[in-house]
């Protein structure tokens, strides 16, 4: 276990609060910042989060409306806002980031305009080469972590010492952290598995059954792996917790916003209405434009991603989406000895 540390968490959504509770209960000094002042007031007064029913938060957990309070003097700073707010949050935090600061990103996404991962966005805004960036990712639903259910996670960084520090801090009696030096591969998995989870949800909404879901998960990780290898990532990452592990939980669980949103779309609910019914950010929809651009940039075939994009954009009726995938040119699954050559 790590020594007691001061930890700032930027973002008070379900994942940020689940981690804040876990770290506070592990004995760390935790401060949570939110850009929504009413959210800070509510958390401070009720000690409960509206999207985590039945969970009482520790009295020791601190909340602040002042981002400098959450950034200054922290051993670890965690970015836990939705992916679309990472850049604006980093911009606000930048003046208060110390040299050598360990920054942990737990958001999952890729910026459509720049094709930057979340840690790359943070680096771009903070402009301090001494900052030590770590991506924390894996099969980790907030709804289970907040109930202290057993969970495993990946601490990824090309700064091995920083990854190991974060590994120790985030390892508790109920969470086990592993390290990985392939930070770009881990972040790619975290973003694109949400798109595949949308596909899985759409198939469920259409009534396709477990066979189709298993096929989409398997073929989905093959697509993600193909792209990752083309981008220079390590193939082992895609068969680990950040890859197939996170994809399995996101594509099968009702805790998954992406899976639930996909199910609604598959049932014929318009995309915007499906988002409203889910009631929280659906990261797969945010990642979809970047996924399409990356597939084109690296000349990688990603038929599941392309089909989801066609459905979401309204170019293809949802009822024909599965048929589009099923009637593609017949191919062999095994194409070589390496994982990324086995799928085409």
Q: Which residues are catalytic?
A: 193
CA distance 235 to 220: 14
Sheet holding 6-10, edge to edge: 62-64, 29-33, 6-10, 76-79, 102-105, 132-137, 151-156, 175-180
Q: What is the DSSP string of 201-246?
A: HHHHHTT--HHHHHHHHHHHHHHHHHHHHHTT--HHHHTSIIIIIH
What is the C-alpha separation between 59 and 164, in angstroms, rounded?
29
Tokens 């999207």: give the residue.
51
Q: Phi/psi of residue 103, each to 5°?
A: -115, 125
DSSP label at 341?
G
How do 151-156 and 76-79 pair as beta strands?
Answer: unpaired
């Amino acid at each position: 276990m790590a020594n007691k540390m001061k930890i700032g968490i930027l973002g008070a959504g379900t994942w940020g609060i689940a981690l804040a509770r876990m770290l506070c209960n592990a004995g760390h000094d935790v401060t949570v910042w939110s850009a929504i002042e009413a959210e800070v007031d509510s958390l401070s007064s009720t000690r409960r989060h509206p999207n985590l029913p039945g969970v009482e938060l520790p009295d020791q957990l601190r909340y602040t409306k002042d981002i400098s309070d959450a950034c200054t003097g922290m051993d670890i700073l965690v970015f836990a806002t939705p992916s679309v707010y990472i850049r604006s949050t980093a911009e606000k935090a930048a003046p208060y980031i110390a040299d050598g600061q360990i920054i942990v990103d737990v958001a999952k996404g890729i910026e459509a305009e720049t094709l930057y991962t979340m840690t790359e966005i943070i680096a771009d805004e903070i402009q301090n080469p001494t900052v030590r960036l770590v991506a924390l990712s894996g099969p980790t639903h907030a709804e289970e972590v907040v109930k202290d259910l057993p969970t495993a996670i990946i601490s990824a960084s090309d700064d091995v010492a920083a990854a190991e520090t974060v590994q120790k801090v985030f390892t508790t009696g109920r969470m086990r952290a592993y390290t990985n030096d392939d930070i770009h591969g881990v972040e790619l998995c975290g973003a694109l598995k949400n798109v595949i989870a949308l596909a899985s949800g759409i198939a469920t909404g259409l009534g396709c059954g477990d066979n189709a879901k298993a096929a989409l998960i398997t073929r989905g990780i093959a697509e993600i792996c193909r792209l990752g290898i083309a981008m220079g990532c390590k193939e082992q990452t895609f068969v680990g917790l950040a890859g197939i592990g996170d994809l399995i939980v996101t594509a099968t669980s009702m805790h998954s916003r992406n899976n639930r949103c996909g199910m609604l779309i598959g049932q014929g609910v318009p995309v915007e209405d499906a988002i409203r019914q889910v009631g929280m950010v659906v990261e797969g929809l945010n990642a979809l434009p970047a996924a399409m651009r990356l597939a084109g940039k690296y000349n990688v075939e990603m038929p599941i991603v392309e089909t989801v994009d066609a459905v979401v954009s309204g170019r293809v009726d949802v009822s024909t989406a599965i048929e589009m995938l099923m009637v593609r040119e017949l191919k062999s699954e095994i194409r070589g000895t390496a994982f990324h050559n086995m799928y085409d």
